[in-house]
Chain A
């Protein structure tokens, strides 16, 4: 990791601040029901989980596919903790069970506990699983995610998890207040802040000595061990931290959705996140973030016409019917996987220095965000 110049760091901070200001301004000016807020919120949540998966797959070289399971733990922990006691005691949510939980917490504590619960499970799962390699690790983590889903749907645990039924009435994005006041916090900005803080923590970790150890393990386990890196300790650490943030993102997803159900967190969800990571570039944090927003924007917004009978001015109700969007989408993904296996960013990050140099050399008409691809 070469030392970045101070100026470049300031430019990066400036750019991030600009994004936040843009989000805040957008939220005050545009109608709150506009589709762009769906994209921004969901995109930010998926960025967080994609970056957490990238920490594991891209930076530590552990091919884990358990992300959906940890998100499930996070989402459920959050909803159980923050659901007000009055709601738990009535039949509003726990219709068939008497709730066994007699307390509730605030949003912040709920988020942290969601992460901690996921991290705790990860610590337990990591003990047997992290001894496995590559595809065996992948299949074992898928297996654990499925087991977790089965446990949360088990009706013996109904008094806690409400069985296989929907969880709702917990504190969601509309319940976020500006501290010490009663004014609601702008929801999109809140998601951005929460996801941004978590991603910043992951970036700090990657650039620390632990992060360098992770990368050493990814590049060559035997050499890393010979250099005195405790393989198991570092793998377990990466696994736990990644799961912590997956849990937090699960909780954010629960906040965003207003309802949450275990059946949603199938292995298909993990595959979706994995494909985002691949599109962004395995080993690139900024790539994962850009890819998440592109992925969500494409699937929720830009390609919506494919499902609705009208796309790019062409109208054909028989061709553009429900499901066509996802079909086209998966073909695009396959093309990326086959022909651009490096993804958008490869293992590079957006570097503003590189951008400026490129700008000076080529003098392109405009600097799109995609101009940061310096592969």
Chain B
């Protein structure tokens, strides 16, 4: 067992790191779904936009200014998307909102395509995060170590926010019952906006960590992580934040182990790499068939 761990340490480490980054995105999905019952397909693209903003802003500004600026601008972007594309459809059927989300995702990708000219943009290296460190004989970037810690800190803060503040209480109420909480005098629109603000903020943090590892941003680099993070949210039980985090870590680690598959399965060679994405979806289908509510999900009748 120890040998196995040691041999695959670099995969496991990067898996943990990617898992943490996925977790930050997955929280955005799970919170929005919990409240609006909407798969926010544009969330992955918001994440990509945060990456692009970083690229463009850091070209002229120092890092200390860029990071807060990117966080603020991503939050504004998330807020605007909700106001422009989802709020007008509040009373429309759920499918129209989802189509609107797909439309926004298409729009953001095409806008990014236009502004970048379709080229992969090199992500700026954030000084401290890009340093290399050596853990138990495998070299990795500082970000690998920072990600899980930062993720946990943010998740704990978020849980406290949801548990003890007034707006957190309102969020829980709205996700339990939309109509009743409105009757109780909760400002639905404010609560939904706050949800999108938090989700976008975490996506922006996630994008900084993720792209530090991957080093380049393209207009479509948000769509696959986006889908995977939604799967992570479903896997953990949609609406549950700890569930989303655990689901994201499982997917991140499993995916990276499959990428380094030859040393574990002993056959197939690098051919398994093709399946690192497919694995995520296979996991999704298995969980939907076996336990549709996910690991920590509450029982609900209209899910599956």
Please give the residue numbers on chain A whose beta carbons come within 8 Å of chain B beta carbons, in ascending order.
63, 128-129, 131-136, 138-140, 142-144, 146-147, 149-151, 153-156, 164, 267-268, 271-272, 274-275, 278, 321-324, 326-327, 329-331, 333-334, 337-338, 341
Are the C-beta atoms of A136 and B288 separated by less than 8 Å? yes
Are the C-beta atoms of A268 and B223 separated by less than 8 Å? yes
A146 to B275, CA, bound (A): 10
Are the C-beta atoms of A138 and B99 separated by less than 8 Å? no
A274 to B98, CA, bound (A): 11
Are the C-beta atoms of A143 and B117 separated by less than 8 Å? no
Q: List 26 A-B contacts (CB under 8 A).
A: A132-B304, A133-B302, A133-B303, A134-B95, A136-B288, A136-B303, A138-B39, A139-B39, A140-B284, A143-B281, A143-B282, A143-B284, A155-B271, A267-B227, A268-B220, A271-B102, A274-B102, A275-B102, A322-B117, A323-B114, A326-B110, A326-B113, A330-B110, A338-B88, A338-B89, A338-B100
Are the C-beta atoms of B285 and A143 separated by less than 8 Å? yes
Cβ contacts under 8 Å, B271 to chain A: 154-156
Are the C-beta atoms of A128 and B289 separated by less than 8 Å? yes
Cβ contacts under 8 Å, A146 to chain B: 227, 277-278, 281
Are the C-beta atoms of A139 and B95 separated by less than 8 Å? no
Cβ contacts under 8 Å, B227 to chain A: 139, 142, 146, 267
Are the C-beta atoms of A133 and B94 separated by less than 8 Å? no
CB-CB contacts below 8 Å: B88-144 with A: 88-89, 92, 94-96, 98-100, 102-107, 109-111, 113-114, 117-118
A258 to B281, CA, bound (A): 31
Whether A139 touches B103, Cβ cut-off 8 Å, given contacts A267-B223, A338-B88, is no
A281 to B207, CA, bound (A): 37
Q: Is B154 located at the chain interface by the 8 A CB criterion?
A: no
Cβ contacts under 8 Å, B37 to chain A: 135
Are the C-beta atoms of A337 and B100 separated by less than 8 Å? yes
Are the C-beta atoms of B231 and A139 separated by less than 8 Å? yes
Whether A136 touches B111, Cβ cut-off 8 Å, given contacts A271-B102, A271-B106, is no
The 5 closest A-B pairs by CB, nearest first: A143-B281, A150-B278, A323-B114, A330-B107, A326-B110
CB closest chain-B residue, reference A155: B271
Are the C-beta atoms of B117 and A323 separated by less than 8 Å? yes
Q: How far is the CB of A332 from chain B (nearest CB, A)?
A: 10
Most buried by B among A138, A144, A329, A337: A337
CB closest chain-B residue, reference A154: B274
Q: How far is the CB of A311 from chain B (nearest CB, A)?
A: 14
A131 to B92, CA, bound (A): 24
Are the C-beta atoms of B277 and A144 separated by less than 8 Å? no
Are the C-beta atoms of A144 and B118 separated by less than 8 Å? no
Q: How far is the CB of A57 from chain B (nearest CB, A)?
A: 8
Cβ contacts under 8 Å, A331 to chain B: 107
Q: How far is the CB of B241 from chain A (nearest CB, A)?
A: 19
Are the C-beta atoms of A338 and B39 separated by less than 8 Å? no
- 13 further interface pairs, Cβ-Cβ under 8 Å (given A140-B285, A268-B220): A63-B98, A132-B292, A139-B284, A142-B227, A143-B285, A149-B278, A150-B277, A154-B271, A155-B271, A271-B105, A321-B114, A326-B113, A327-B107
Contact with A along B261-304 (1 / 0, CB 8 A): 00000001001001101101110110011001000000000111
A262 to B282, CA, bound (A): 19
Cβ contacts under 8 Å, A143 to chain B: 231, 280-282, 284-285
Q: Is B201 located at the chain interface by the 8 A CB criterion?
A: no
Are the C-beta atoms of A323 and B110 separated by less than 8 Å? yes
Interface bin, chain B: 35 or more
Cβ contacts under 8 Å, B280 to chain A: 143
Q: Is B217 located at the chain interface by the 8 A CB criterion?
A: no
Most buried by B among A140, A143, A146, A338: A143
Most buried by B among A156, A322, A327: A327
A334 to B100, CA, bound (A): 7
A338 to B303, CA, bound (A): 26
Are the C-beta atoms of B278 and A147 separated by less than 8 Å? yes
Whether A134 touches B94, Cβ cut-off 8 Å, given contacts A156-B271, A323-B117, A330-B107, is yes
Are the C-beta atoms of A135 and B94 separated by less than 8 Å? yes
Q: Is B22 located at the chain interface by the 8 A CB criterion?
A: no
Cβ contacts under 8 Å, A329 to chain B: 110
Cβ contacts under 8 Å, B249 to chain A: none
Q: How far is the CB of A158 from chain B (nearest CB, A)?
A: 9
CB closest chain-A residue, reference B270: A155
A135 to B84, CA, bound (A): 22
Q: Is B215 located at the chain interface by the 8 A CB criterion?
A: no
Are the C-beta atoms of B110 and A135 separated by less than 8 Å? no
Contact with A along B63-100 (1 / 0, CB 8 A): 00000000000000000000011001100101110111
A338 to B281, CA, bound (A): 30
Q: How far is the CB of A137 from chain B (nearest CB, A)?
A: 9
Q: How far is the CB of B99 from chain A (nearest CB, A)?
A: 5
Q: Is B196 located at the chain interface by the 8 A CB criterion?
A: no
Cβ contacts under 8 Å, B114 to chain A: 321-324, 326-327
Cβ contacts under 8 Å, B118 to chain A: 322-323
A229 to B70, CA, bound (A): 54
Most buried by A among B231, B281, B282: B281
CB closest chain-B residue, reference A152: B274
Are the C-beta atoms of A330 and B278 separated by less than 8 Å? no
A155 to B274, CA, bound (A): 9
Most buried by A among B103, B104, B268: B103
Q: Is B254 located at the chain interface by the 8 A CB criterion?
A: no
A22 to B88, CA, bound (A): 43
Cβ contacts under 8 Å, A341 to chain B: 89, 92, 96
Cβ contacts under 8 Å, B304 to chain A: 131-133, 136
Q: Is B234 located at the chain interface by the 8 A CB criterion?
A: yes
Cβ contacts under 8 Å, A164 to chain B: 274
Most buried by B among A155, A322, A338, A341: A338
A133 to B37, CA, bound (A): 13
Are the C-beta atoms of A334 and B103 separated by less than 8 Å? yes
Are the C-beta atoms of A139 and B230 separated by less than 8 Å? yes
Are the C-beta atoms of B104 and A334 separated by less than 8 Å? yes
Cβ contacts under 8 Å, B104 to chain A: 334
Cβ contacts under 8 Å, B110 to chain A: 323, 326-327, 329-330
